[in-house]
Copies of this chain bind each other. A is one copy, B any other.
Amino acid sequence: MTTAPTTLGQRELALRERASQVIPGGMYGHMRVTDFSGAHPQFMVSGNGCRVTDADGREYLDLMCGWGPVVLGHRHPGVTKAILDQLEHGDCLDGTSPVAVDYAELLVDTVPSADWAMFCKNGTDATTTCVTIARAATGKRKVLVAAGAYHGAVPWCSLRGQGVTAEDQTHLIRYEYNDLLSAERAAAEAGDDLAAIIVCPMRHDVRRDQELADPAFAHGLRALADRTGAVLILDDVRCGHRLHLGGSWEPLGVRPDLSAWSKALANGQPLGAVTGIDALRDAVSSVYVTGSFWYAAVPLAAGLATLRELRNGQALPDMLRTGTRLREGLAAQAAAHGYEIRQTGPVQMPVLYFAGDDDLSLGTAWAEAAVRRGVYLHPWHNWFLSAAHTDADIDAILDRTDQAFADLRDTGS
């Protein structure tokens, strides 16, 4: 048995013990590593570019990028400078910082479907605000949602039953992603009470292959919204500003009425946004949505710096190139080691499954081997590339994933 050259470190174990006393289950939410791995560290102390370091000083090549937010790399100098400069003036003031206007202008200039923008903290804030605006605009209640799609972790959209009442989701009607007929049936079920259709730019549900949007499906949803008067909401929280700066459906030529953004906006600073079309301005002004920190200047300054860097730089084409290099390398390695794998979704947001691995045990063992070899990746949530990943970094990652495939083979899996 050679698959575990390292086990969890002493500081990691000590932190887990302390956490178990003061945090239920030792951690919560998507970052509770015991839900997906026996080998991933729960605790991280630093990040730099495409590398992160755990509490025991072990460095990992990072394929999660903070689970999405880090699009330019950890501690990107330009974004860090914007953060430090803004901190010298102020952050949480009594009024909005002018940087909110600068950033809203740049978003509107960047996103063709955006005539305006507003800002919040979580992706869930953004999706919830979109639904609220759509209901206020239409005076209707029903919202079409793809079955299994993640739009946040609050009762109205929760995928878990615990703590959720039936009424929280009474007005949701489910359709199947990439199945336009199912959406049209759902719209028919809503009758004259249809407020909105919410959709992710691709199917990125966890524990299954990712699925790009069929262009006919995307155009069909747009036409369905136009025909029914429903508001088309694009949940670009996970994909936004990693695939296309104008919005993830721009390459398809399909423009939403509202878009929800978060994750990559500010390279890790806490920020969400809603953008939308002129026709919805009055509805926005009629709803009351707010938060104590929604106006704070530092995350907005980071968002502005991030978007300027993304617009001026090579970040998006770079991620496309390095993501392709990673995908091709993994495919070759799997074949060489005699494993059949599936890699799906955009190369900048990869995920890898093993054929026939219904219980994900093989994928989990491989991900655990990878993390022991120094590559931080996930067995069943998509990964994220950043602009900090160079070709050399991808090659270093591939060296280690090759070892991980070998480790897997050595265990006889």
Please report A residues at the B interface, Cβ cutoff 8 Å: 15, 18-19, 21-25, 27-31, 33, 40-48, 52, 54-55, 60, 62, 64-70, 74-75, 80, 83-84, 87-98, 100-101, 104-105, 107-108, 115-118, 121-125, 128, 131-136, 141, 153-156, 158-160, 162-165, 167-168, 170-171, 237, 262-263, 268-270, 280-296, 299, 376
Contacts and interface: CB of A to CB of B under 8 A. Distances in A.
B291 A33 contact: no
Contacts of A118: 23-24, 28
Scoring A95, A122, A155 by chain B CB atoms within 10 A of each residue's CB, the highest score goes to: A95
B133 A286 contact: no
Contacts of A30: 290
B291 A95 contact: no
A108 B22 contact: yes
A28 B285 contact: yes
A315 B105 CA distance: 40
Nearest to A29: B290
25 contacts: A19-B100, A24-B116, A24-B284, A29-B289, A43-B98, A44-B94, A45-B97, A45-B98, A47-B93, A48-B90, A52-B90, A62-B94, A75-B88, A91-B268, A131-B163, A132-B155, A136-B162, A154-B289, A158-B288, A160-B287, A163-B287, A167-B168, A167-B171, A270-B270, A270-B299
B94 A66 contact: yes
Given A21-B105, A52-B94, A165-B170, 16 more contacts: A23-B100, A23-B118, A28-B284, A33-B95, A44-B90, A46-B90, A47-B89, A66-B92, A67-B94, A75-B88, A92-B269, A131-B163, A132-B163, A134-B163, A153-B289, A268-B293
A295 B33 CA distance: 13
B22 A116 contact: yes
Instruction: List 10 tightest A-B contacts by C-beta distance, closest first.
Output: A29-B290, A92-B268, A132-B163, A270-B293, A24-B284, A47-B90, A136-B163, A44-B93, A25-B285, A44-B95
Contacts of A262: 292
Contacts of A299: 270
Q: Taking chain A's interface residues, is the majority helix, strand, or loop, or is none over half, making it mixed?
A: mixed
A38 to B, nearest CB: 14
Given A19-B104, A45-B89, A155-B132, A68 B292 contact: yes
Given A290-B28, A290-B153, A43 B165 contact: no
Given A54-B95, A299-B270, A293 B121 contact: yes
Contact of A23 (B29, B116, B153, B282): B116
Copies of the chain in the assembly: 2
Nearest to A94: B64
Contact of A52 (B67, B93, B158, B289): B93
Given A116-B23, A132-B163, A167-B167, A87 B92 contact: no
Given A55-B98, A95-B33, A69 B128 contact: no
A285 B163 CA distance: 11
A47 B94 CA distance: 9
A54 B115 CA distance: 27
A283 to B, nearest CB: 8
A88 B136 CA distance: 44
B291 A153 contact: yes
B24 A281 contact: yes
Contacts of A293: 69, 121-122, 268-270
Given A69-B293, A90-B46, A292-B68, A162 B101 contact: no
A393 to B, nearest CB: 16
A10 to B, nearest CB: 13
B153 A165 contact: no
